[in-house]
Amino acid sequence: MFTKNYRPIDETIWQGRIDSESNFEAFRWHQWVKKIDLTKEGLEVDTGKLGFAIMGFCCDKGVKFNKGRTGAIEAPTNIRKKLANLPCSFTKDVKLYDAGDIICEDCTLEESQELLSKAVDKVLSLNLFPIVLGGGHEIAFGHYNGILNYLSKENNRPNIGIINFDAHFDLRPYPKGGNSGTMFRQIADICKERELNYSYFCFGVQPHSNTVDLFNTANKLDVQYILAEDVVGSNDFTILEKLDYFIKKQEHLYVTICSDVFSSVFAPGVSAIEPLGLEPDKVLKFLKYILRSGKVISFDIAEVSPRFDQDHTTSKLASIIIFNTINAITKNHNLYV
């Protein structure tokens, strides 16, 4: 199923401070994460009561094709290094795995996205929750297809809602092929072809970053969205009402974060900086609310670009978001210390 473009994780990435060799309450993630090789025949894992699999998508060809600043290909390794020293704030019944990387070398963007879809399908089949590290936001096309393929084994027409924290709709046409600005248009076309419900909510949209045509396309496709200025200016109750209305219509949710949704003060190392972006605590508040629905099946964060970062600020922010994501889910299962 996998090719040379899949690479199991180098375990030396997972290292850091050790406060205790035996007291789990003093453990950090690098002491708890275990390696799995998705190419292994008959692979079985101990999922405990709840299991997560971290996976990297080392690709920013989509960003290059979209004329953005490349560099996100290096993000999975950098984010892992920031994850390594995070404290284990959950019980021993929660298992953490690293499922390796998809490497976009000597292959097309479409081939790497297809490989990612197979990896996500495999991780979900192992009863693990995928946490996928981009890479460019072209990650969303492969990730969504992996979820769709997995759920389609039980139901020919799965109901999957997408919540995207992003300054951009990423609904551009793609006559010359996909890139990091086309994924949700591509997904809309797949849904139309397969007669599936297309449910897409974009949170943090910037009017100065999207053409009038993109707003028209969003309206035509019945995309739900909240402008960044409304996140800042509206009361939380109004936004929660919109989220509630969207969430209640979905059976499953796929959550994706493009790092350019954040203000460049907090996320300088991204493919497209956003001076008027959102503050992280605002995003975390609404992300946790979405996670409490219990419908989120998979998560990714994209377009951290280490070559433009300052003091690893953006990679650190990504790690904190992942930390809060996992902790929110463990709280749902009463597995949080």
CATH, residue 117: 3.40.800.10
Would residue 185 count as lying in a domain? Answer: yes
Rg from Cα positions in the chain: 19
Give the global pTM.
0.97
Would you say residue 337 lies in a domain? Answer: no
| 309: in domain | yes
For the segment 228-280, what is each residue's pLDDT rounded down to a tens digit? Answer: 999 998 889 999 999 999 999 999 999 999 999 999 999 999 999 999 999 99
Residues present in the chain in total: 337
Each residue's pLDDT tens digit, 27-65 = 999 999 999 999 999 999 999 999 999 999 999 999 999
Which residue range forms the structural domain that includes residue 24? 6-332
The answer to whether residue 127 scores a pLDDT higher than 60 is yes
Give the model's pLDDT for residue 2: 64
Contacts for 20-28: CB closer than 8 Å, 24+ residues apart: 24/88, 24/92, 25/88, 25/337, 27/87, 27/88, 28/84, 28/85, 28/86, 28/87, 28/88
292-311 pLDDT, tens digit each = 999 999 999 999 999 999 99
Phi, psi of 11 (to 5 degrees): -65, -15
Number of compact structural domains in the chain? 1
Q: Is there a domain that residue 1 lies in?
A: no
Confidence check: pLDDT of 1 > 80 = no
Tokens of 219: 């309206």
Q: Is the pLDDT of residue 200 over 90?
A: yes
